[in-house]
Amino acid sequence: MKLIEFCNANMQKGTQGVYDALEDRMDVDCVDYECTNNCGLCSKMAFALVEGQIVSAKDNTKLLEKIEKKLDKRDDEFDEKYLDF
């Protein structure tokens, strides 16, 4: 299960839709915190922490795309590293 963390203040600025879209995925655990201590970033753009790494974008559509790409990339890396084909 992959962890995606959201800042509640950033969700109130619009990332709630990204949270909702990702929450439906079976391979993801979405958590929202009162604050993730990324205030400078939070005030400027949409962001989330994916497996502890910041993913940010100018808008929610791009944020969702970037997060999904990062999740898919991590799956590919896992497959290549740990599975025999």
Q: Give the pLDDT of residue 1.
A: 87
Domain boundaries, the chain: 2-82
Q: Give the pLDDT of residue 85.
A: 44
pTM reported for the whole predicted model: 0.82
User: Residue 14 gets which letter from DSSP?
Assistant: I
Q: Residue ranges of the chain with pLDDT lower than 70? A: 74-85
Q: Give the pLDDT of residue 73.
A: 81
What fold characterizes domain 2-82? Glutaredoxin (3.40.30)
Q: Give the pLDDT of residue 81.
A: 47
Q: Give the pLDDT of residue 5.
A: 97
- The per-residue b/e assignment along 16-46, b for 16 or more CB within 10 angstroms, e otherwise, is eebbeebeeeeebebebeeebebeeebeebb
